[in-house]
Amino acid sequence: MVTPANSRTKKEHHCSIHRSLDLVGEKWSLLIVRNALRGESRFSELRDNLGIPSDVLSARLATLVDAGVLERRSYREPGERERYSYHLTEQGQALKTVLIALQEWGDEYNPSPGGRVSLTQDAATGQHASIGFIGDDGSVLDSSAVTMVPGPAAAISW
């Protein structure tokens, strides 16, 4: 019996955190997205700036394209062969919040002795921005009062 390579049994998780980590829960994947958010797109610049082996980078890029986080485009420099660049989709851009949450956590609890490498800024006003919780009524909430509670599908998996 022939079994296609992509038909192997994979447990489908219900929790969105688990589902997200299934897509991007690997250190290199999130670092690739970080560099893409900084404007890097070419294989060679990602490889050189991340210091990641080419084969690992190829595999992670393929996973991120499959997951809908990156879009692959071809380009050709004069006199060179066709190459590929990788661009964040809307879904990929939305990971900005996850990365800035990791950044703020690191700056707070594990700061680099050299100072902050990256800051978060509101392009409209130029002011510093930080992550917070907003209520459905539009008010800024006290983060310590925000909790995760079981949702409608919690009976399946909580």
Q: In terms of CB distance, is 56 or 101 closer to a second copy? A: 101
Please state, in angstroms and as integers, the Cα–Cα distance from residue 130 to each residue in 59, 67, 138, following that order: 33, 28, 16
Nearer to a second copy, 3 or 143 (CB): 143
* Of 2 and 123, CB closest to a second copy: 123
CB atoms within 10 A of CB 29: 20
To a second copy, the closest distance from the beta carbon of 5 in angstroms equals 22
To a second copy, the closest distance from the beta carbon of 36 in angstroms equals 11
Distance CA 29, CA 102 (A): 14
Q: Collapsing DSSP states into helix, strand and coil, what is residue 98?
A: helix
Tokens describing residue 44 = 């060679």
- Using the structure block, give the residue that is written with the tokens 């809908």: 68
Query: What is the closest distance, in whole angstroms, from the C-beta atom of residue 3 to a second copy in the complex?
Result: 24
Q: How far is the CB of 95 from a second copy (least distance, A)?
A: 6
Residue closer to a second copy by CB (options 14, 87) is: 14
